[in-house]
Amino acid sequence: MRKLRFALVQKDFTVGGISENVNKMISTINEVEKSSPDFIIFPELSLVGYPPEDLLLKHSFIKDNLEGLDKVIESTKGKSFVVIVGFVDMVDDIYNSAAVIQDGQLLSVYHKILLPNYGVFDEKRYFAAGDKPMIVNYGGVKIGISVCEDIWVPDGPVVDEVRAGAMILVNISSSPYHLLKGMAREEMLRVRASDSRAAIVYTNSVGGQDELIFDGHSVVTNESGKIIARAPDFKESVLISDIDIPNIVSANLHDPRKRERGRTKPTVEFVEVNAININRDPITPIISETLSFEEEIFKALTLGVKDYVKKNGFSKVLIGLSGGIDSSLVAVVAVEALGAQNVTGVLMPSMYSSASSIDDSQMLASNLGIKTYTIPISNVFSAYLEALKVAFEGTNIDVTEENLQARIRGNYLMALSNKYGWLVLTTGNKSEMSVGYATLYGDMAGGFAVIKDLYKTMVYQVARWYNSYKGKEIIPNNVFVKPPSAELRPNQTDQDSLPPYDILDKILKLYVEDDLSFEEIMERGFEKETVKKTIRLVDHNEYKRRQAPPGIKITSRAFGRDRRLPITNHYQGRG
């Protein structure tokens, strides 16, 4: 047997959508059969979607998942290839599992051994850990089976599979995206393959699930760690790749380390499957191009919006257009994700709105081809001030009056949302959310926060890339050059209240993502009072962030699922 053919199914499976997921699996199996594969590999928990979270505490959910698996098994009757499916197994407890299926039979089940419980992961809350590595013996070719985290740990269960003779390692995964994660993941797999002298077949999920994005980026490596096939990022795909068995055998014969490691045989479950031996035309595997920093972010945002909107039963979205960079980027993402016909912009000028902001909003809308409403807030703002006149008597005008304007705009947007069933996309960025430069029930009002995890400097970077990518000025040039402003008082700019964004964002990354202390950040050369103020603002605005809508995770540590700090907190490590 010179080559084995693997079909890596990188598809968008929906959490809780068991019936639709099963139908997608069965149709994919029937379609991929034309490629004469030896193995068809589906991602981790693809039958139920990832992460199912507290759905796993419902017995009916586990039962429906097992019935769904039976339907997938039934669909393979008369088919000679092996299918591996991620599902939830229930024995004495529930397990994150991989089913090994052939010709209408469930041959065996692998239980994930290493359960991640850090960052966005919470698997120990739900699953019991497996305790036995697995090898599928396919015509004398030993193939190790593992699930996601099992391959990330250098001395994890795949090591035992290699010691037991595995020449190919199949890993099914639902590995959430953050910036540059695909290449980091790929490098880990390259190292694991090279160290093991085993080829790796790595199948990852793709799609958006609430805050999380799954980028796909499924890959196949040879026994030297070279990438021989790569699926596209952020896109459904079936990646077909052949693996040359004699090359693996030769590499192992020339590597004496394998003999040393193989002296002690680990406890591994062996599963015998029927091998097929047919003549097939050779294929040229696809090695998709990797993306630039900006394109990667943009495609993640686009996929996140598309899936959140559609999976939650919406078809159209609504965006407050201010003429600034944030709402401009959110608008272009929405149009790319949903089409211009499904995006509406709302201009809500006040007495403080500049003519250029209105012009820039209208030009953006025209360039994108989206419908707009213009609903001024000045008269309503005056009515608010009149209504509050007695209660505010003897006080000075301050941020309260500024926030009233933001809240009027939030009310307008939510009224349109209620009337027409449109989802409001909020436009706040990570810099603003970090320091509380946002208004509760005002510009924070909405259903989905598209750029919640992008620092302001990243917003500009991605927006510039988008215009360059389109080859024309979609976002008006004036949006890039004018000072950012909330326009809630005369001549206001963001830098009246905040440090310059190029400095602020660096401090925020060190404090929010890297967890450095005041002293450690100071040692990086930042001005004392700027660091002190930034940390104070971040710490004092945790309560706001808890009330913000969910948003797309882009950085390595996002607010919400990643960074969880108590609101009531007297820790004094703030300078």
| Residues with catalytic roles | 44, 112, 148
Nearest-5° Cα angle at 221, 219 to 227: 75
Annotate 390-449 with DSSP letters as a single string.
TTTTT----HHHHHHHHHHHHHHHHHHHHHH-PEEEE---HHHHHHT-S-TTTTT-SSEE
The three state secondary structure string of 270-288 is EEEECCCCCCCCCCCCCEC
User: How far apart, in whole angstroms, are the C-alpha atoms of residue 306 and residue 316?
Assistant: 10
Q: How many CB atoms lie within 10 A of CB 446?
A: 24
Q: Chain centroid to CA 108: how far?
A: 31
Q: Is-contact 10 239, C-beta < 8 A?
A: yes
Query: What distance in Å separates the CA atoms of residue 75 and residue 536, rounded to the nearest whole number?
Result: 59
Amino acid at 130: G
Instruction: Spell out a b/e string for 211-233, using b for 16 or more CB atoms within 10 Å of the CB, else e.
Output: bbbbbbbbbbbbbebebbbbbbb
Asked whether the CA dihedral 66, 50, 117, 202 is positive or negative, the reply is positive
Q: Residue for token digits 């490691």?
A: 261
- Find, among 410, 390, 421, the residue nearest to 548 by Cα: 410
Structure-token match 């005002």, residue found: 442
Token representation of residue 167: 């020449």
Secondary structure E strands in 53-166 = 82-90, 94-102, 105-111, 134-138, 141-147
Nearest to 178 by CA among 219, 212, 150, 216: 212
Residue 208 is inside which H or E element, if any?
Answer: strand 206-209
Contact 243, 199 (CB under 8 A): yes
Could you tell me the two tokens for 15?
């959490």
- N- to C-terminal Cα separation, the chain: 66
